[in-house]
């Protein structure tokens, strides 16, 4: 029985691979050919201006087509093909000048030319490896049909290297057909993997390209970190100037007035003294809030888990926190993760209209993973100027990633992952 189940499973897998190969072959012989021809024509029309307007849109379609093939490679063959596109600026200008800038950036991206090379290989070697999967089964079935009497309708017929002119040769054709079917059932999954291997050879960046992409990523992360630090310093300076500093100045003026009135008008001096004491307490509160905004004491003393729990207790929305962290992480990682969670929770409270929030924090496989889920209205997106874009930049400094799942109507799940180890 176990052997029968294994054989049945292999046959089903081969038939599924044949269907996948047919779909891949159709994509290669339609979408890849059309996109390649249109893109080449559009590139040729750039000197006269027409291509400037059309090429960016066509390259977007090519990227979507290539990204779809990467997704199929992961789902159908368990083969990961990197997505190495350089990020385009979100604040690009519109109009003809914006098209020129966007086209220039896309043409400077090595991934663009790898995509075009892949279109060429996909419509040739990729199509051949894909069509072989269903082709072997169809060709084998055709050989069997010849022996079933189809040769009497077709007349003299060459089946592979066999001239079918009678029942004897038709029988030989059916035997060859059975061989083709057996070969297809045995090798179809490998043919589909070969198709994706061809795609990976064209789409995946080379060692130099990966190094260049890594350098670009680190440069961008450094710029983001510098910008974030500068913005944080400006915020601290503004808060000190508008808050604690103003109250301390007012307290100093009150004390000066008290000194002048303490003998002439003790009642007024007592009133100003109470006001100065209140200003002192308010300034101390604002300084504590400012320090908490720079690096919360609970984070420094008790770690990320307790800091996130303390953060949840201050929210107006019921929040469940599940933390699994056996040890302490590096201070920079804890700080980045804390403020990232704080920003996500703030968004959930302000914009999502959530009635409940769930936070999960754990460390596994060398990564800190944090998920924040709310039952709000959904629709959250990572875009320019949004809080999530700032979280993404903050995590990017540590090679972290941010993923958002937020369909209309909710729920919203924000997942953060940072590679790190216990300190």
Q: What is the pLDDT of residue 311?
A: 80
Distance of alpha carbon 288 from alpha carbon 303, whole angstroms: 19
Q: How confident is the model at residue 22 (pLDDT cuts 50, 70, 90)?
A: very high
- Among left, alpha and beta (phi > 0; psi -120 to 50; other), residue 228 is alpha
Pairing of strands 319-324, 357-364: parallel
Phi then psi for residue 76, to 5 deg, are -95, -30
Q: Is the pLDDT of residue 251 over 70?
A: no
Residue by residue, DSSP assigns 57-78 as HHHHHHHHHHHHHHHHHHHHH-
Lowest-pLDDT range of 105-109, 123-127, 399-403: 399-403
Contact 66, 118 (CB under 8 A): yes
DSSP annotation of 412: E
Q: What is the pLDDT of residue 119?
A: 95
| 401-405, strands of its sheet edge to edge | 319-324, 357-364, 367-374, 412-419, 401-405
Domains in the chain, please, with CATH?
2-203 (no CATH), 216-294 (1.20.5), 302-419 (3.30.565.10)
Give per-residue pLDDT as tens, 364-377. Answer: 888 888 888 888 87
Say whether 319 sits in a helix, a strand or coil: strand
Q: What is the pTM of this model?
A: 0.58
Contact 344, 388 (CB under 8 A): yes
Q: What is the mean pLDDT of residues 269-296?
A: 64
Distance of alpha carbon 147 from alpha carbon 114, whole angstroms: 47
Phi then psi for residue 362, to 5 deg, are -150, 165
Q: Is the pLDDT of residue 93 over 60?
A: no
Contact 130, 24 (CB under 8 A): yes
Q: What is the mean pLDDT of residues 89-102?
A: 62
Give per-residue pLDDT as tens, 216-247. Answer: 655 665 555 555 555 556 655 665 555 556 66
Q: What is the pLDDT of residue 20?
A: 93
H or E segment at 364?
strand 357-364
Give per-residue pLDDT as tens, 303-322. Answer: 888 888 888 888 888 888 88
Structure tokens at 348: 């959930």
């Amino acid at each position: 029985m176990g052997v029968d189940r294994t054989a049945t499973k292999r046959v089903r897998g081969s038939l599924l691979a044949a269907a996948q190969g047919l779909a891949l072959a159709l994509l290669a012989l339609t979408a890849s050919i059309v996109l390649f021809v249109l893109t080449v024509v559009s590139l040729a029309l750039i000197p006269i201006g027409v291509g400037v307007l059309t090429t960016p849109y066509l390259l977007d379609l090519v990227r979507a087509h290539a990204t779809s093939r990467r997704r199929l490679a992961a789902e159908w063959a368990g083969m990961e093909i990197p997505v190495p596109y350089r990020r385009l600026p979100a604040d690009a200008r519109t109009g003809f000048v914006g098209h020129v800038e966007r086209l220039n950036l896309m043409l400077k991206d090595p991934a663009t030319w790898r995509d075009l090379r892949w279109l060429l290989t996909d419509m040739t070697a990729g199509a051949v490896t894909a069509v072989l999967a269903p082709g072997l089964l169809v060709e084998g079935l055709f050989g069997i049909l010849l022996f079933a009497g189809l040769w009497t309708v077709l007349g003299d017929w060459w089946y592979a290297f066999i001239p079918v002119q009678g029942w004897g040769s038709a029988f030989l054709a059916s035997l060859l057909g059975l061989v083709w079917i057996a070969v297809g059932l045995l090798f179809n999954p490998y043919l589909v993997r070969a198709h994706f291997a061809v795609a990976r050879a064209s789409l995946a960046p080379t060692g130099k390209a990966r190094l260049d992409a890594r350098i670009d990523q680190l440069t961008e992360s450094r710029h983001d970190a510098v910008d974030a630090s500068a913005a944080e310093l400006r915020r601290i300076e503004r808060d000190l100037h508008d808050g604690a500093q103003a109250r301390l100045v007012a307290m100093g003026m009150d004390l000066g007035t008290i000194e002048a009135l303490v003998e002439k008008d003790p009642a007024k001096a007592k009133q100003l003294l109470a006001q100065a004491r209140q200003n002192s307490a308010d300034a101390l509160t604002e300084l504590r809030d400012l320090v908490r905004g720079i690096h919360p004491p609970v984070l420094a003393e008790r770690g990320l888990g307790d800091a996130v729990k303390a953060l949840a207790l201050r929210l107006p929305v019921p929040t469940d926190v599940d933390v699994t962290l056996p040890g302490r992480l590096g201070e920079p990682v804890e700080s980045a993760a804390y403020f990232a969670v704080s920003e996500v929770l703030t968004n959930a409270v302000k914009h999502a209209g959530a009635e409940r929030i769930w936070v999960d924090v754990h460390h596994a496989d060398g990564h800190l993973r944090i998920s924040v889920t709310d039952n709000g209205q959904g629709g959250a997106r990572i875009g320019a100027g949004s809080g999530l874009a700032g979280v993404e930049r903050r995590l990017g400094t540590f090679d972290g990633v941010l993923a958002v799942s937020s369909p209309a109507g909710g729920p919203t799940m924000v997942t953060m992952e940072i590679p790190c180890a216990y300190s």
